[in-house]
Amino acid sequence: MRKLISLFRIKGLIIWLAVISLIAVFILVFMDSLLKKAFIVSSETINRAKVELDSLETDLTKTSVTLDNLSWTDREKPMRNLFTFNSAKLDIEAAPLLKKHVTIDNFSIDGLELDTERKTSGALAKSKETETANNETSKTETNNIFSKLKDIDISTAIDIEKIPAVKEARRLGSLAKEKAAMWNSKIAKAADTAELKATYEIIQKIDVESYNFPADILKAKKDAETVQAFIKQVQAKKNETDRLVKELSMEQSNISNELSNLKKMSQKAPKDLLMSADSNPVDAKAIVQELIGKNLTDTLTKSVALYRKYQHMIPRPEKGEAKPETVKRVSEKGTYVYFRKSGETPRVYIKNMYLNGSTKNGDILTGNIKNLSTDITYKPYDIDLKLLKSSGTTPFFTLGGQVGVVENAISTYLQISASGYPISDIIHPSDNNSLKGVSGNIDMQGQIKGTGEDFTLDIRLTSPLIGIDINSENMDSKLAELLDSAIGKVDNFTADLSASGTLDNYSINISTNLQDIISRNIKGYLTKQIQKVNGEIQKRYNEEMTKIFAGSENAIAGLSLNDSSKLKLKELTGLNSNAAEKNNLIKKAISGQAGSGALDKLKSKFPF
């Protein structure tokens, strides 16, 4: 009987060993595919979108797992992957596995790429995320924000006749012509010798040589009286014409001085004729909002969305006391939450995760994350990520900080730092039909603080020089030139971006010095253009005024004796000279009779 029982025990042991062997063989043969399937199912449950993996291989001797070619779909954008990697290796501690815990010493990822394009949709068949709304992007007319600039009329056209100095110069010219006509008329009339012609003819007939003294003494006396009376008449006329000529000269001098003073005062074009650049005709705030405000707002919104996306992937901490047993639940966000015994290692704990990959721009992504686990209350996650240029060794972008728990709420503190970061990665011309392109690099300093659903995000951007290329299609060439001058190159650019609130309801604030720079540059440009235009206006003004003043000066120069007046004065002078000469001859003839008694009698009565 005992032998029979022993035989049954031996057979049972053999059967048990056979079953165990079959199970071991099954596990060894099919474990990788089973684990791969389990990994994909659990990952898709967490992600609520497709997770694709080419292969999963285990090495029981080294307790390690290798994953090849993983694609993790962005559930909000099913045609893009949140990330992909070429390979990942997990070095797992053996002892915790006996307690159904997974502790990973090192988790290294190579060939990591973020935000890559998918060939097919990664949406799950029944996922609500596949229902997408077609949002039509509103198109803003490129030139709407520049409408005020269109009203700027930089023109050199001047209406010369509206200038007061021109009117006054023309008035003085006309006045000079009127005065010239008036004075020449007066002088001609005063110098008219028609009434003297008869007497002058008589004087002309006096023949002094025919005197026969002393018999012709009385005749000589009568002739002398006639000549002297004539001379008095001529002299009276001459005095009157001299007076009139003098008054004419004074009139000319007065008008000439008045024109000269007007000319001096009119050397500069009047202010109302020149353009002024005292006021700024543009709304720089609207330009900033149109060109980069929307992009910066969009950048902040995307940053918050990215923070929210990854933050929701973090297991939520247990509220209250930890239960003695380990329980697995599914949170509202679709992530697994594990509750553990106090002081116990989490069900899944990754001591170090090393990342090595690249961005879509070809930059190198490297860094590590420590203390990843299914229970964030165990230890805070330590994050240290860097971006490097493919040809450099110094990071131009870093993201570091911790994610932990404070009073049963997830607490985040991350710092962002960038140096020489391409501004085109922040401001995308493709999203803005007013913007053709941006150039330049920026420095960035920022931080993200969050507790639960509340958060604050602050980023400061600085750059010594950025370029903004306006979409000038269908834009006036002068307007395009103005904008290129004002915005084409921006020195010492700064922008402060902030967002705060809850992940579902937050406000955004953007403060930048670009508004002041644009206002200053546009005003500077307009000032130069206006100075140039005013120089041209002054030149044209001088040319026009020179012509006008020359005409008035000629008119004033004509305020003098005309040929007719000169001829009459010449005739008057001739009459006076001839009469004086005749008078001298008569006096001489009479004086030649010295010693004559008759002459003495005449002298006593008619002294010469």
* DSSP three-state, residue 487: helix
Q: Determine contact, residues 80/117, Cβ cutoff 8 Å.
A: yes
Rounded distance, CA 79 to CA 589, Å? 139
Q: How do beta strands 348-358 and 102-117 pair?
A: parallel
Say yes or no: 111 and 168 in one domain: no
Domain contains 74: yes
In the chain, the N- to C-terminal Cα span, in Å, equals: 205
- Considering 60, 88, 117, which residue would you say is the last residue of a domain? 117
Domain contains 573: yes
Q: Determine contact, residues 585/208, Cβ cutoff 8 Å.
A: yes
* DSSP three-state, residue 335: coil
Question: What is the b/e burial string over 92-119, where b = at least 16 CB atoms within 10 angstroms of the residue's CB?
Answer: beeebeeeebbbbeebebeebbbeeebe
Domain contains 293: no
481 or 144, higher pLDDT:
481
Say yes or no: 170 and 108 in one domain: no
Say yes or no: 255 and 175 in one domain: yes
Rounded distance, CA 96 to CA 104, Å? 10
pLDDT on residue 471: 76
Q: Determine contact, residues 498/464, Cβ cutoff 8 Å.
A: no
Structure confidence by residue, pLDDT tens digits, 329-340:
444 444 444 444
Domain contains 502: no
Would you give the DSSP letter of residue 156?
-
pLDDT on residue 285: 75
pLDDT on residue 600: 58
pLDDT on residue 452: 78
- Considering 117, 140, 173, which residue would you say is the last residue of a domain? 117
Say whether pLDDT at 85 is over 50: yes
Tokens encoding 472? 């000038």
Domain contains 157: no
Rounded average pLDDT over 123-149: 47
Domain contains 261: yes
Q: Which residues are paired to 327 by β-bridges?
A: 339
What length does the chain have?
608
Tokens encoding 260? 């000269």
Neighbour-count burial of 38, counting CB atoms closer than 10 A to its CB (0-12 exposed, 13-18 middle, 19+ buried):
exposed
Say whether pLDDT at 290 is over 80: no
* DSSP three-state, residue 81: strand
Q: How do beta strands 348-358 and 409-422 pair?
A: unpaired
Structure confidence by residue, pLDDT tens digits, 356-374:
888 777 788 888 888 888 7
Domain contains 186: yes
Say yes or no: 171 and 89 in one domain: no
Cβ count within 10 A of residue 355: 20
265 or 430, higher pLDDT:
265
Rounded average pLDDT over 457-461: 90
Say yes or no: 104 and 185 in one domain: no
In one letter, which amino acid is 98?
L
pLDDT on residue 445: 92
Domain contains 514: no
Q: Which residues are paired to 456 by β-bridges?
A: 449, 500
Q: Is the peptide bond before 214 cis (omega within 30 degrees of 0)?
A: yes
Q: Which of 117-131, 175-189, 222-236 has the lowest mean pLDDT?
A: 117-131
Q: List the alpha helices (DSSP H) in 191-276.
A: 197-205, 217-265
Q: Determine contact, residues 450/456, Cβ cutoff 8 Å.
A: yes
What is the span of the domain harbouring residue 240?
Answer: 164-267+562-605
Identify the sign of the CA torsion 4, 8, 13, 14.
positive
Q: Which residues are paired to 330 by β-bridges?
A: 336
Tally the domains of the chain. 2
Winning range, highest mean pLDDT, from 10-19, 151-160, 205-214:
205-214
Tokens encoding 276? 């002024």
- Considering 89, 117, 145, which residue would you say is the last residue of a domain? 117
Q: Determine contact, residues 455/449, Cβ cutoff 8 Å.
A: yes
Q: What are phi and psi of 433, to 5 degrees?
A: -80, 0
- pLDDT, the chain, mean: 77
Closest by CA position to 484, among listed 467, 504, 501: 467
Say yes or no: 113 and 169 in one domain: no
Q: Determine contact, residues 163/270, Cβ cutoff 8 Å.
A: yes
Structure confidence by residue, pLDDT tens digits, 510-554:
888 888 888 888 778 778 877 888 888 888 888 888 888 898 889
Element at 427 (helix H, strand E): none
Say whether pLDDT at 243 is over 80: yes
